[in-house]
Amino acid sequence: MSRGYFIVFEGVDGSGTTTQSRLLASHLREAGLPVTLTREPGGTPVAEKIRQFVLDPSLEGISPMSELFLYAASRSQHVAEVIVPSLDRGDVVICDRYIASSLAYQGYGRGLNLEEIEQINRLAVGECLPDATIYLTLPVEVAWKRLGQRDSADRLEQTGMALQEKVARGYQEIANRDPAGLVFDAQLEINRLAERIQGALRRRWSWFPEEKK
Ligand code: TYD
């Protein structure tokens, strides 16, 4: 591989993007491939500070536009400091959330203009777009139950099911028009879902490692 490959996981809160990013990273590492596993918002010390700020449950009254800029600021730092250098080294970069999260949450969820979100993100990331985006779909009621089982919910998770419903519908539309998108049912058992994702990537890319025996 010369330039690496950039794989993003997306989905509503509770859909398991973090778990599935980790499982994919372990699979590729076990096969001896160089992997950078990272997440948004965050992924670098500066961006993790922005994450703490933007996800702070006590942060009230922030406007959707300010939120959009904070996520874009985190993303810009992350692209420059981690994603592009890792791809240049030839790593497979696996990122838990990316631009589609801003479209789904700040656009479909909070009502900001989708084209403006794309423009701001283009400024933030330049040409650095995913080679594949894996969308995990989950009915909102199921997502909600899963979240209830966690001990702490962040500010966004506390804003309610109505927002999550808009976000879920948004993801459907985003996935439908994403040529690099792959959609999976997040209700599948964790390991079966991981195998399905790996199978789809194996069919797409000849370098993708064989199934574990
Ligand atoms: P995440 O790290 O997946 O949350 P958790 O670790 O609690 O599972 O994402 C944090 C929240 O940030 C999630 O509700 C989605 C939201 N978000 C946006 O609204 N816009 C964005 O651009 C990104 C990256 C995340």
Q: Is 101 in the pocket of ligand 1 (CB under 6 A)?
A: yes
Distance 127 CA to ligand 1 centre (A): 22
For residue 45, what are the contacts with CB-CB under 8 A and spacing of at least 6?
none
For residue 73, with 0-12 CB atoms within 10 Å meaning exposed, 13-18 middle and 19 or more buried, which class applies?
middle
User: What's the confidence (pLDDT) of residue 70?
Assistant: 97
Q: Within 9-139, where are the H helices?
A: 17-30, 45-54, 64-78, 84-89, 99-101, 114-125
C-alpha distance from residue 185 to each of 48, 68, 111, 193, 195 (Å): 30, 28, 26, 8, 12
For residue 26, what are the contacts with CB-CB under 8 A and spacing of at least 6?
none
| For residue 1, pLDDT beyond 50 | no
Q: Is 156 in the pocket of ligand 1 (CB under 6 A)?
A: yes
Q: Whose CA is nearest to atom 5 of ligand 1?
A: 13
Q: Cα–Cα distance between 69 and 103 in angstroms, integer?
A: 12
> Which of ligand 1's atoms lies nearest the C-alpha of 106?
19
User: What's the confidence (pLDDT) of residue 144?
Assistant: 83
| For residue 33, pLDDT beyond 70 | yes
Domain boundaries, the chain: 5-204
pLDDT band at 97 (very low <50, low <70, confident <90, very high): very high
- Cβ(143)–Cβ(15) below 8 Å: yes
Distance 41 CA to ligand 1 centre (A): 6
Distance 48 CA to ligand 1 centre (A): 12
Q: Quick one: which of 163, 154, 147 has its CA closest to 55?
A: 154
| For residue 127, pLDDT beyond 60 | yes
Distance 80 CA to ligand 1 centre (A): 20
Pocket test for ligand 1, best of 44, 68, 154 (most atoms within 8 A of CB): 154
182 beta partners = 134
Q: Whose CA is nearest to atom 17 of ligand 1?
A: 101
Q: Is 21 in the pocket of ligand 1 (CB under 6 A)?
A: no
For residue 82, what are the contacts with CB-CB under 8 A and spacing of at least 6?
36, 38, 43, 44, 93
Chain segment 149-200, per-residue pLDDT in tens: 665 556 556 568 889 999 999 999 999 999 999 999 999 999 999 999 999 9
User: Of 3.30.230.10, 3.40.50.300, 3.55.40.20, 3.30.70.270, which CATH number belongs to 5-204?
Assistant: 3.40.50.300
Q: Cα–Cα distance between 106 and 51 in angstroms, integer?
A: 15
No. of helices (H) and no. of strands (E), the chain: 10, 5
Distance 68 CA to ligand 1 centre (A): 12
